[in-house]
Amino acid sequence: MDQPDARRRFFGQSLGGHDVNHWLGGVQAGCDYQFAGSFVIGIQGDYAWTDAEGSHDSAREFGVVYHSKTKSLASVSGRIGYAWDRFLGYVRGGGAWQRDDYWATTIIVGTAYAGRETRPGWTIGIGGEYAFTNVLSGFVEYSYYDFGNPAIGLTPLLVGLRPGFVDIKETTSVVRAGLNVRFGGYAAR
């Protein structure tokens, strides 16, 4: 999992960004329909858990470090593909959601601000799936997720600090591999 650009804006200036790389694990469910030819359409939903964490020193403030941790990633997408015997090549796209924790620490007081948000966005991807049997298939796919650049509120954890608002641009790239078990509706070969 990759989260290439998490930023906070400071009077129109970037405070920096960081990458987050980590494994994720999850589940997916969906259904496909193959037309009389080899075209396939389908819909799928997936949910994955992770603990992808990263941080960076502020580019504009002395002694301040910004942190983020992705807790989960989910999507609902449609897919369209073409089947060559037991191999299916496809593209997919749809809506996505990512749950993130954010916090800022200082060298003097420790954690000063914290926030949590489930961010909506969109996803697009490409992949391939191979049917080992009529019941079991394996897939590999790449998906790109974009969660925009919304203002996120951070709650002060120390008395006397004002609430903070940050603009965090966040994109995620995921390479997934897995197994699918098919239930009913498959044609015997």
Task: Please compute Rg for the chain using Cα positions.
Answer: 21
pLDDT reading at 169 higher than 80: yes
Say if CB 145 and CB 173 are below 8 A apart.
Answer: yes
Query: How would you classify residue 132: left for phi > 0, otherwise alpha for psi between -120 and 50, otherwise beta?
Result: alpha
Name every residue whose Cβ is closer than 8 Å to that of residue 123 and which is 6 or more positions away in sequence. Answer: 75, 77, 92, 93, 94, 95, 96, 143, 144, 145, 146
| Confidence (pTM) | 0.86
| Span 106-116, pLDDT tens digits | 998 889 999 99
Average pLDDT over residues 172-184: 92
Q: May I ask the CATH class of domain 9-181?
A: mainly beta
Of the two residues 146 and 5, the one the predictor is more confident about is: 146
Q: Categorize the per-residue pLDDT at 21 as very low, low, confident or very high, splitting at 50, 70 and 90.
A: confident
Name the maximum alpha-carbon separation found in the chain: 71
Q: Would you state the pLDDT for residue 186?
A: 56
pLDDT reading at 14 higher than 60: yes
| Span 137-159, pLDDT tens digits | 999 999 999 999 888 888 999 88
Domain borders along the chain are 9-181
Average pLDDT over residues 37-60: 92
Question: Counting every residue, how long is the chain?
Answer: 189
Q: Categorize the per-residue pLDDT at 12 as very low, low, confident or very high, splitting at 50, 70 and 90.
A: low
